[in-house]
Amino acid sequence: MSTIRPIAVLSLVVASALVAGGCSSSSAAEESTGAAAAETVTFSWDRNVAGEDEEPRYEETTVEVPADPERIVVFDMASLDTIGALGGEVAGAPLDSVPEYLQGYLAEDAFNAGTLFEADLVEIESQQPDLIVVGGRSSALYEDLSEIAPTVDLSLTGSYTENLERNATFLGQVLGAEEEAATALAEVEAGIEEARAVASAAGTGLGVMVSGGKLSALAPSGEDASGRGARGGLIYDAFGVQPVVEDVEAATHGEPISFEFLLEHDPDYLWVVDRDAATGAEGTQAAAAVLDNDIVKQTTAYQQDHIVYLDPTAWYIVFGGLDTTQIMIDDVMQIAQ
pLDDT in tens, 194-240: 999 999 999 999 999 999 999 999 988 765 555 566 778 899 999 99
Q: Supply the pLDDT for residue 229.
A: 62
- Share of residues in the chain with pLDDT > 90 (%): 70
Has residue 107 got a pLDDT over 90? yes
Give me the domains of the chain, ranges plus CATH numbers: 1-61 (no CATH), 198-336 (3.40.50.1980)
Grade residue 74 by pLDDT with cuts at 50, 70 and 90. Answer: very high
The arithmetic mean of pLDDT across residues 289-316, rounded, is 96
98-107, 110-119, 154-163, 202-211: segment of lowest average pLDDT: 154-163
> What is the C-alpha separation between 131 and 93, in angstroms, rounded?
12
Q: Supply the pLDDT for residue 19.
A: 35
The arithmetic mean of pLDDT across residues 318-325, rounded, is 94
Q: Supply the pLDDT for residue 17.
A: 40
Q: Supply the pLDDT for residue 251.
A: 62
Has residue 120 got a pLDDT over 90? yes
> What is the C-alpha separation between 193 and 151, in angstroms, rounded?
33
Grade residue 96 by pLDDT with cuts at 50, 70 and 90. Answer: very high
Q: Per residue in 276-295, pLDDT tens?
A: 999 988 889 999 999 999 99
Q: Supply the pLDDT for residue 26.
A: 35
The arithmetic mean of pLDDT across residues 322-332, rounded, is 97
Q: Supply the pLDDT for residue 238.
A: 92
Strands 256-257 and 214-218: antiparallel
Q: Per residue in 20-56, pLDDT tens?
A: 344 333 343 344 333 344 589 999 988 877 766 777 7
Has residue 4 got a pLDDT over 70? no
- Share of residues in the chain with pLDDT > 70 (%): 84
Has residue 59 got a pLDDT over 80? yes
Q: Supply the pLDDT for residue 227.
A: 56
The arithmetic mean of pLDDT across residues 141-162, rounded, is 92
Has residue 188 got a pLDDT over 50? yes
Confidence (pTM): 0.85
Q: In what order do the strands lie in the sheet with 131-134?
A: 106-112, 90-93, 72-74, 131-134, 151-153
